[in-house]
Amino acid sequence: MQKNIKIKVALAGNPNSGKSTIFNSLTGSNQHVGNYPGITVEKKEGSKSYKGYDINFVDLPGMYSLSAFSDDEIVARDFLIKEKPDIVINTIDTTNLERNLYLFTQLTELSVPIIMVLNMVDILRSQGKVIDKKAMSDLLGVPVIATVANRKIGIDDILDSIVSLFENKKLKHQIRAKVDFGDVIKEQTDKLEDLISKNPTLSIFPGRWLAIEFLDNGPSILELISETNNKSEILTQLKKSKEHIKEHFGEKADKEIVDRRYGFAKSIVKTVVKKTGQNKVDITGIIDSFVLNKYLGIPIFILVMYVIFKFTFTFADPMVNLFGLLFKWIEGVVASLLPIGPVQSLIVKGIIGGVGGVFGFFPMMLFMFFAIAFFEDSGYMARAAFVMDKVMSRFGLHGKSFLPLMLSTYGCAVTGILSTRTLDSKRDRLITMFIAPFMICGAKLTVFALIIGAFFHAKYQTGIMVVMYFLSIVIALGIAKLLSSTVLKGEAAYFVIELPPYHIPTIKGLLLKMWERGTLYVRKAGTTIVFASILIWVIFAYPKAPINENLSKNEQAALQTQYSFAGRAGKILEPFFKPIGMDGNRAVALIAGFAAKEVIVSALGTIYAIEDDSGENLPLKEKIANDKDWSFLKGITFLIFCLIYIPCVVSVIVFFKETGSSYKWLALLVIGSTASAWIVSFIVFQIGTLLKH
């Protein structure tokens, strides 16, 4: 049987252009997420069999240009140049056509076959405008497809166009419209091209494009010159070329190049965009008049956070209880099948008790991921970053730094740290990497849900969660202010972000995002937490305490806890933790949380499973609520310590790598966060204790 012919297709476009939605529609469930070799920027690939072809799609990180200021843009640019895809799909947000066409002007310089996808044409029409696709295609010399990605309109047209372009060699080379930089700039690029062609390091790049990028001062591009064997010759010619262009135009070369590109984009827009003659209501403008209002913006943001947590707690609570009962039933079944002894204790109290405590909150994670995906896909989250820009600027950062903090909150600190690669300033990256672990990530949410559920009535739980969420922001911004005023002084970079038009997300898209993030959570629970649960059981179960027949089962279990490795370690640690209201067992659980914050729940589940032989089989939150060694104040202090202290081991490793393996910054993170956690917890507990008396 003949195998299908393979086609490699890259999707390139500005952030918020709908590129990922198109990717999801093209590939469905046939996709996977990894990292680019040697770099931790996310790589999304998917496949589609269509008309005898196996089409492999690569969803490149969003980028505004090929000049590549951030790591994401460098990855996207290098893929286009070095991997040489058969076709590039350039996704365009038609409501920001001129801005989006800037990237197209650079893609044409790479001599790669392009399909232009005009997305969100329904929103453009609602604004009383349409695009003449045929005129645009004839003018540019590339296939032009109109789509409404969230409703799958135009997806089959994209697939047909890929096959047609791949089969028709003439179409591959008929890009007609390129930016005319004029004779003066062309003369200088020709000189630079000649030097580039003589250099094996640079000859892998398209010569004309690279020459223009040299003149355009692309920061990552200029670094390539240092790797060449004719470095001084290129730098001398580059300096002469820039001086010549400035003398001729009275402007720097990079500004002249940008102006020419935008001039080209503007002329295309004037030619192909037509008014329908119907005055349409600008829904996006109306909503933004409230959402971006300087007085209403932050209250609306707080309301959105409340809605997210309210939705999560309200709809997840019955499922969490159901999962809790399921794991208790599994414990009972497994216990009845295995003889009493160490193996039964390990499986029932160690693995099922530990992992079950974490998995019990899996429905809560799914509902939160769904709610977050809704606000992301609707276009609100970009506004949240814009609204927070003024707040962030007062603490030495800008709104773009808020995006990694949100990713840390709705996923993992690791994701937040890695996403700082999109920040242009090294200083901003460092500060944001420091504060990302202070957010309430998905792992911490399980701990917070457990403790809040134990000490607060259901009607107050959402409010307390929102308060803790904003406490995490206050602490993070406080740390940012401290860093920006001391060891990382400097100016924050300018903040630029596209505000996509509002639209209603598709259920499929929301479920896909929920599933992607949920499976990452399950994978983590199935590896790190299983191992940690076994380890915790071992240190609490051994060495065995002597049997005393005069003691009840619970008293014997308590004796075992004191006699175990963990109990002995807890006794050593207790003087350090006692001033913040914690006993040795909680200290051991917190230390175990260094492996992963979910392990705190796993550790508490294992501890209570080992200590409780009463057979009551209560949910973990009820065991904590009934434990006289806990209290409302101790619960709050415990949460504050969890919020601030040392991040999980994976976050620490990623932070270390992202800071260039700097032991100085690593020590500041580890020691600083733990010391801050203890100091803040001490103040809260001691003041709370005084107020009680």
Question: Which CATH number do you get for residue 82?
Answer: 3.40.50.300
Residues 201 and 252 placed together within one structural domain of the fold? yes
Residues 558 and 683 placed together within one structural domain of the fold? yes
Residues 556 and 653 placed together within one structural domain of the fold? yes
CATH code of residue 242 = 1.10.287.1770
Burial 152-189 (b: 16+ CB within 10 A, else e): bebbeebbebbbebbeeeebbeebebebebeebbeebb
Classify residue 439: in a domain, yes or no.
Answer: no
Residues 153 and 226 placed together within one structural domain of the fold? no
Residues 197 and 157 placed together within one structural domain of the fold? no
Question: Strand (E) positions, 227-366?
Answer: 273-275
Query: How does pLDDT run across 633-667, given as a tens digit for each residue?
Result: 999 999 999 999 988 877 887 788 888 888 999 99
CB distance 114 to 177 below 8 Å: no
Residue carrying structure tokens 């107020």: 691
Classify residue 299: in a domain, yes or no.
Answer: no
Classify residue 488: in a domain, yes or no.
Answer: no
Residues 168 and 187 placed together within one structural domain of the fold? no
Classify residue 321: in a domain, yes or no.
Answer: no
Residues 83 and 160 placed together within one structural domain of the fold? yes
Query: How does pLDDT run across 89-115, given as a tens digit for each residue?
Result: 999 999 889 889 989 988 888 878 899
Residue carrying structure tokens 């983590």: 524
Per the structure, the count of domains in the chain is 3
Query: How does pLDDT run across 128-141, given as a tens digit for each residue?
Result: 889 999 999 988 88
pLDDT band at 161 (very low <50, low <70, confident <90, very high): very high
Q: What is the pTM of this model?
A: 0.61
Q: Which one of 155, 173, 191 terminates a domain?
A: 173
Residues 166 and 199 placed together within one structural domain of the fold? no
Could you list the residue range(s) of the whole structural domain that residue 268 is in? 182-275
Q: Which two tokens stand for residue 69?
A: 């200021």
- The amino acid occupying position 109 is E
3-state helix, strand, coil in the chain (%, to 5): 65, 10, 25
Please tell me the distance from the alpha carbon of residue 220 to that of residue 202, in angstroms, as a whole number: 13
Please tell me the distance from the alpha carbon of residue 396 to that of residue 393, in angstroms, as a whole number: 5
Per mean pLDDT, which of 68-72, 228-232, 430-434, 610-614 is the most reliable?
A: 430-434
Q: Which one of 275, 302, 337 terminates a domain?
A: 275
Query: How does pLDDT run across 166-184, given as a tens digit for each residue?
Result: 888 655 556 667 788 888 8
Residues 232 and 124 placed together within one structural domain of the fold? no
pLDDT band at 604 (very low <50, low <70, confident <90, very high): confident
Classify strands 31-35 and 42-50 as parallel, antiparallel or unpaired. Answer: antiparallel
Classify residue 630: in a domain, yes or no.
Answer: yes
CB distance 47 to 95 below 8 Å: no
Residues 230 and 169 placed together within one structural domain of the fold? no
In this prediction, residue 181 carries a pLDDT of 83
Classify residue 151: in a domain, yes or no.
Answer: yes
Classify residue 295: in a domain, yes or no.
Answer: no
Classify residue 613: in a domain, yes or no.
Answer: yes
In this prediction, residue 294 carries a pLDDT of 84
Q: Which stretch of 57-61, 292-296, 362-366, 466-470 has the lowest confidence by average pLDDT?
A: 362-366
Classify strands 114-119 and 87-93 as parallel, antiparallel or unpaired. Answer: parallel
Residues 682 and 592 placed together within one structural domain of the fold? yes
Q: Which one of 133, 156, 173 terminates a domain?
A: 173
Residues 618 and 635 placed together within one structural domain of the fold? yes
